[in-house]
Amino acid sequence: MSLSAWQQPLFARTVAAFRSHRLGHAQLLQGEAHLGKLALAQALAKRLLCQQAGDAEAACGVCTACQRFEQGSHGDFRQIGIELNEKTGKLKTVIGVDQIRDMLEWLALTAQLAGPRVVIIETAHRLNPHAANALLKTLEEPMPGRYLFLVTDQPKALPATVRSRCQRIEMACPDTATALAWLKQNRVPEADAKALLDMAGGNPGLALSWAGSGGSALYQEVRADLAACVKNQTGPAAIARKWLADESTDLRLLFAAQIGYGLARTWAAQAAGGAKRPQAVERLKEWIDGINRLRLSLSQPLRHDLGLAGRMLEWRQLLQDFR
Ligand SMILES: [Zn+2]
């Protein structure tokens, strides 16, 4: 697996710190979801464990350590996170203190391959208070040759005492050109990539997950529904029923709001051209707020059809008044 253009510099920097013995006991790898933080942590773990990398940046890929890592059987590597509750068959909601105690006991044992031992803690913000406390002890008294990667998209949910004892690896969204190039590599049609990336706030991983789950088609459908509403081809109530009928309601509303933002930007740019434009932009912003409020209320057991049909009616009126 190759690293993306935004993972690679973080990989290089961390490996350089490791080679010059500056890599701390614990790394907090943080950044938005979907950017590939876990994959980066795994690539780093493999490199740290590699027996033949020497001064090279990359893991060799052929030594015993690399082979075992690839097979998921390296005795000096562990990845922990949210576990399945065997009684209920559902995922637990927190990482418990027993998991951390087990891991720390294991971490203190002699390494099987005489190299380092590496642990990845996935969704580290889910450590419960007891687990975080148990972890804190090892962060305060680091063991040589032992490396922890705490991976999280919600670093603020971790106790400040834990955060302050970690070195930080911060993964940010790449620039637009890099993100678009990456989406193209991942076979997202160019016609959709820009719109999906905008809606994902510049997060290419999130855009890709939407593209993969039919997001492009859904986006086009939302556009078409909004246009049909303005032309009186589809009624507001029919669109509301359709949008609320399956699990994609939230994403449809998000797309609708983003289409609204796009139009507001276009109208604002044209504001100088017509006296009615500023008023139109104001009304459009109110409409977007209404859509966003509706999105937030989706989790509540209310009837949403009347509210959404009302928004669709406003949309039709707005576009007929100002187009
Ligand atoms: Zn190797």
C-alpha of residue 82 to centroid of ligand 1, in Å? 29
C-alpha of residue 47 to centroid of ligand 1, in Å? 7
| Residue 227 to residue 242: CA distance in whole angstroms | 15
C-alpha of residue 117 to centroid of ligand 1, in Å? 15
C-alpha of residue 76 to centroid of ligand 1, in Å? 14
Alpha carbon dihedral 307, 313, 315, 316, in 10-degree steps, equals 170
Question: Given this model, what pLDDT does residue 275 score?
Answer: 60
| Residue 319 to residue 190: CA distance in whole angstroms | 28
Q: How do residues 235-276 score in pLDDT, each as one tens digit?
A: 999 999 999 998 889 989 989 998 898 888 888 887 665 666
C-alpha of residue 110 to centroid of ligand 1, in Å? 20
CA-based max dimension of the chain: 76
Closest to 82 measured CA to CA, from 21, 123, 33? 123
Residue 120 has pLDDT above 90, yes or no: yes
Tokens, residue 8 = 């690679």
C-alpha of residue 107 to centroid of ligand 1, in Å? 21
Question: Given this model, what pLDDT does residue 214 score?
Answer: 80
Question: Given this model, what pLDDT does residue 189 score?
Answer: 87
Percent of the chain with pLDDT over 70: 98
C-alpha of residue 75 to centroid of ligand 1, in Å? 15
Strand partners, 26: 148
C-alpha of residue 152 to centroid of ligand 1, in Å? 27
Q: How do residues 13-56 score in pLDDT, each as one tens digit?
A: 999 999 999 999 999 999 999 999 999 999 999 999 999 998 99
- Tell me what the pLDDT averaged over the chain comes to: 92
Span of 104-108, 118-122, 146-150, 260-264 with lowest mean pLDDT = 260-264
Helix (H) or strand (E) holding 147: strand 146-152
C-alpha of residue 62 to centroid of ligand 1, in Å? 5
| Residue 18 to residue 301: CA distance in whole angstroms | 52
C-alpha of residue 69 to centroid of ligand 1, in Å? 9
Question: Given this model, what pLDDT does residue 75 score?
Answer: 96
In order of 158, 215, 270, 306, the CA distances from 165 in angstroms are 12, 40, 52, 52
Question: Given this model, what pLDDT does residue 273 score?
Answer: 59
Residue 118 has pLDDT above 80, yes or no: yes
Question: Given this model, what pLDDT does residue 271 score?
Answer: 61
